[in-house]
Each structure stands twice: as structure tokens, then as C-alpha cells.
Amino acid sequence: MRSFLSAVWFRLSLVPCVLSAVMEVDVLEFLVPVENNKTLFVWDIQPVHTEAEIYVSSNAPLHPPGFSALVKFYSAAQASEAQRRTDGCLLFQTSPLKVRLSSKQTPHFLSDSSRPLSHARCLELANHCLGFNGWTSDIITLKELTNKEEEEEGGGGRRRRLRFGCLLQLSFPPHRQTTRGAAVVEDSFTCTGPDVLLQKRCKLQKQVREKALVQAFTTVLLILLGNGKVMVEVKQTSDQFLPEQIEGVLQVNEFSWSEFDPDEEDGGDEEWDLTVS
């Protein structure tokens, strides 16, 4: 990652506007922010609102009545700017708020976390920074990989098992960048009629498309320049899909089941064939 960012900085040095002045640059990833410099701690919120009106936490028992809140930002620069503009201001109450960058120690299980944003948050961040016409997604292939009946344990009847795979391309036409994402999802259920089967198929197809899009976004970096412009870079990882890899047959030999069902062990070594038609 460090070597990739070094290459990004080199590319930025070639931008004419950067040559004439020092420009503030912020790099955003499509990952859940856990850094302290992206988190604001707000306290001295007066208890004039109910918890249904404002999403905050109650003050500790020994403190005066009131609330506190944590506000997370995708951008460290914007978090710092928000802190500067809101600390000591009245905003929505009659007494000044205290706003600081968080100094809370990140739990060890989150310190190295790189959890991707949810599908909805990916769309929100991409649309906010790039606009609705700044990116597109296209399904390369969406296949039903498994559709079979299985005996329930104890002879309780028969269950249907469905599994879908999706390969998707994410494009940023104004920036001439593309990347790809792949996902596989499955479900096992008691099929009581054609309506149940149809509903499950539609649900799984939607889920696998969303998971493939999320996976594609994890390879994207949004570079916010101080002049308001946005650049897009794609992280070249070892598992990045190349154009020639999607011509013909794509074999998905490894897949982490922890994203879907950590208790699922059956079929972990099975090979899936996403044939591009």
C-alpha cells in the first residue's frame, strides 16, 4: 500500500496546479473509518432533546445531565475543518459545544481493521464525491452456480440450496479508470412453493450484485485536492482482474466464507465456474 501511495504522490507532482503551489490532498478509501483523526468527540450537549430526536449517548453518572456523541468522517481534513468550525459554537443549543478530535484508543481488534463500507455507504460516498454521472457499474456475468435439493438432517424433509456468483466491472469514465469485483452468495431453505423459490432467487441475485460492487469499491482510492477537484486511482492488488482474464472462462478457486456465514463449512474447497457468455 505504501509503495502504491508513493506512486500516487508522484503522479500528483506532475499535475500543473501542484507545481505552482502547495496543495492540500486527502485520500479516501471505501473502508469503515476507525482512525482518531477522522472522528470528532462532541460533548456538553444539553439534555433538551430526547434520544429519539438526536442520536447521542447519555453522560456518565457523575457528570451533569447531558449527552455526548461521536461523529465519523471519511476525510481527516474535513473532520479537522469541522472541529475548527464547530468547537465553542452554539449551533442547535443555548450553550457552546465542545468538539475535539477523538483521543480514544482504538480497540486492538479494530486497529488493523479494513472492513469495507456497506453497499449503501459505497453509493453515498461515490455519488457525493464524483456525482451521479461520475461512475458506472456493469455486470459482466451473473450465474446460478448451484440449484439442488438436499435432505434435512433427521429426515425432516427436503431443502433447496441456491448459490449465485457475480463478476462486475466498476468504471470511472472521466478518470479513465476501471476495476472489477466478484462475489458468491448462497442460501439453504425449505421450499414450500414456486413463490418462495422465486423470492429467494431474486433476493440472492440482488445480494450477490451488491457484494460484488462493494468488493470492487475496496480497490478504489478517491484523492481530494485542495482546489475541490477529485482524482480516482485503483489499487493494483495481486488478485486484480485483468482484461484477458474475463475472456472465456473465469475460475474462482478461493473464497472466504467468513463474509457470509462463519459457521458454514460445507463446500469450502468447491470450485465455481463463472463462464462469460
* pLDDT > 80? residue 84: yes
- In this structure, is residue 274 part of a structural domain? no
Q: What is the mean pLDDT of residues 159-167?
A: 93
Q: Which amino acid is at 201?
A: R
Shared domain check, 124 and 206: yes
Does the pLDDT value for residue 128 go beyond 50?
Answer: yes
Instruction: Give the domain range for residue 81.
Output: 34-109
Q: What φ, ψ does residue 253 adopt, rounded to 5°?
A: -95, -20
Does the residue 19 lie in any domain? no
Query: Are 170 and 70 members of one domain?
Result: no
Average pLDDT score, the chain? 77
Q: Is the pLDDT of residue 51 over 80?
A: no
The yes-or-no verdict on residue 210 having pLDDT over 90 is yes
15 lies in some domain: no
pLDDT at 157: 64
Q: Give me the mean pLDDT over the 220-233 stretch.
A: 92
Bigger pLDDT: 142 vs 60: 142
Section 12-25 average pLDDT: 50
Residue with the larger pLDDT of the pair 131 and 238: 131
In sequence order, which residues have a C-beta less than 8 Å from that of residue 235 and are 6 or more positions away? 1, 4, 219, 220, 221
**pLDDT at residue number 158:** 76
For residue 77, the one-letter residue type is: A
Percent of the chain with pLDDT over 90: 38
The predicted-structure confidence for 105-123, as pLDDT tens digits, reads as follows 665 555 556 789 999 999 9
Same domain, 77 and 177: no
**Is 241 part of a structural domain of the chain?**
no
Last residue of a domain, one of 109, 140, 172: 109
Percent of the chain clearing pLDDT 70 (strictly above): 65
- 70: confidence class by pLDDT, cuts 50, 70, 90: confident
Q: Please report whether residue 265 resides in a domain.
A: no
Place 58 in a pLDDT band, splitting at 50, 70 and 90.
low
Within 10 angstroms of residue 173's Cβ, the number of other Cβ atoms is 11
CB 260 within 8 A of CB 210: no
| Judgement on whether residues 223 and 144 belong to the same structural domain of the protein | yes
Measured distance CA(142)–CA(275) in Å, rounded: 9
| Residues 214 and 125 placed together within one structural domain of the fold | yes
DSSP string for the chain? -HHHHHHHHHHHHTSHHHHHS---EEEEESB----GGGEEEEEEE-TTS-TTTS--EEPPTTSPS-EEEEEE-S-HHHHHHHHHHHTT--TTSSS--EEEE--PPPPHHHHT--PBPPHHHHHHHHHHHH-TTS-EEEEEEEEEEEEEEEEPGGG--EEEEEEEEEEEEEEEGGGTEEEEEEEEEEEEE---SHHHHHHHHHHHHHHHHHHHHHHHHTTEEEEEETTS-EEEEE---TTPPPGGGGSSEEEE----GGGT-TT--TTTT--EEEE--
What CATH number does the domain containing 70 carry?
3.30.70.330
Return the half-sphere exposure (C-beta side, CA atoms, 13 A cut-off) of residue 261: 11
Q: Is the pLDDT of residue 188 over 80?
A: yes
Residue 276 lies in a domain: no
Say which CATH number the domain at 201 has.
3.30.160
**pLDDT value at 238 more than 60:** no
Structural domains of the chain, count: 2
Is the same domain home to 88 and 59? Answer: yes
| Residue 2 clears pLDDT 60, i.e. is over it | no
Average pLDDT over residues 181-198: 89
* pLDDT tens figures, 29-48: 999 998 888 989 988 888 87
The answer as to whether 4 is a domain residue is no
Q: Supply 18's cell numbers.
A: 501542484
In a domain, 73, yes or no: yes
pLDDT category of residue 55 using cuts at 50, 70 and 90:
low
What was the pLDDT predicted at 118? 95
Mean pLDDT confidence for 198-203: 93
Do 70 and 168 lie in one domain? The reply is no
Q: Are residues 61 and 132 in the same domain?
A: no
Q: So what's the pLDDT on residue 44? A: 83
In a shared domain, residues 128 and 227: yes
pLDDT of residue 63: 66
Alpha carbon of residue 73 to chain centroid: 14
**Could you tell me the maximum CA-CA distance found in the chain, to the nearest angstrom?**
76
Asked if residues 237 and 29 have their Cβ atoms less than 8 Å apart, the reply is no
